[in-house]
Amino acid sequence: MIKVAKMFKRHLEGMLKWYEIFIDNAMTEGFNAKIQTIKAGARGFRNFENYHVAILFNCGKLDMQPVV
């Protein structure tokens, strides 16, 4: 219990700051999870450029329907 109380005391400023500005890293974690899925599904890319294109394609919310 003492260990938990000390942990809260160390992190109190950050916990209270969240209520002031409402910023967290959930979006970043979501992008990281999506990128890790791309990486695992490909089982390796021939070069970094192909990996980069796959990330941009999947995370960029591109509409692949042609504009008519």
pLDDT tens per residue across all 68 residues of the chain: 999 999 999 999 988 888 888 888 888 899 899 999 988 887 777 888 888 888 888 888 777 777 77
b/e per residue, 6-18, with b = 16+ CB within 10 A? eeeeeeeeeeeee
pTM of the model: 0.56
Residues 6 or more apart in contact with residue 41 via CB below 8 angstroms: none
